[in-house]
Amino acid sequence: MKASGKLCEFEGCGRAHQAKGLCSAHYQQFVKSGNLTPLYEWLISPDARCGATPSCDRPVYTSSLCRTHYEQRKRGVPFAILKPLVNPEGTCAGPECKKEAEGEGRLCRSHTLIKRRGEALFPLILKTRSADLPDLIARGVYWCTSCQQELPLSAFVIDGQRKLPRSRCRLCLGIETRAEKHRRSFLEILTLFEYQNYTCATCVNRHTDDNGLHLDHDHRCCPKKGESCGKCIRGLLCWTCNAGALPWYERMRGIIEPVGLMESYLNHPPALLAGLISGKSFA
DSSP 183-234: T--HHHHHHHHHHTTTB-SSSSPBP-SSSPPEEEE-TTT--STT---SSSEE
pLDDT tens by residue, 178-202: 999 998 989 999 999 999 999 999 9
**What CA dihedral angle connects 223, 226, 229 and 233, to 10 degrees?**
100
CA distance 179 to 82: 11
Model confidence at 13: pLDDT above 80: no
What share of the chain in percent tops pLDDT 90?
41
Q: What is the pLDDT of residue 258?
A: 86
CA distance 179 to 189: 6
Q: What is the pLDDT of residue 68?
A: 81
Model confidence at 110: pLDDT above 50: yes
Q: What is the pLDDT of residue 245?
A: 93
- Of the listed ranges 39-53, 62-76, 228-242, the one predicted with least confidence: 39-53
User: b/e for 77-87, b at 16 or more Cβ within 10 A?
Assistant: eebbebeebbb
Q: What is the pLDDT of residue 264?
A: 92
Beta strand 214-217 with 233-237: parallel, antiparallel or unpaired? antiparallel
Q: What is the pLDDT of residue 38?
A: 64
Paired with 59 in beta bridges are 49
Confidence grade of residue 42 (pLDDT, cut at 50, 70, 90): very low
Where helices occur in 122-185 by DSSP H, the ranges are 133-138, 170-181
Arithmetic mean of pLDDT, 141-169: 90
* Beta strand ranges found along the chain (DSSP E): 141-144, 149-152, 214-217, 233-237
Q: Which of residues 256 and 11 earns the better pLDDT score?
A: 256
- Of the listed ranges 94-108, 116-130, 132-146, the one predicted with least confidence: 94-108
Q: What is the pLDDT of residue 4?
A: 46
Confidence grade of residue 90 (pLDDT, cut at 50, 70, 90): low
Closest C-alpha among 241, 233, 239 to residue 195: 233
pLDDT tens by residue, 220-240: 999 888 889 999 999 999 999
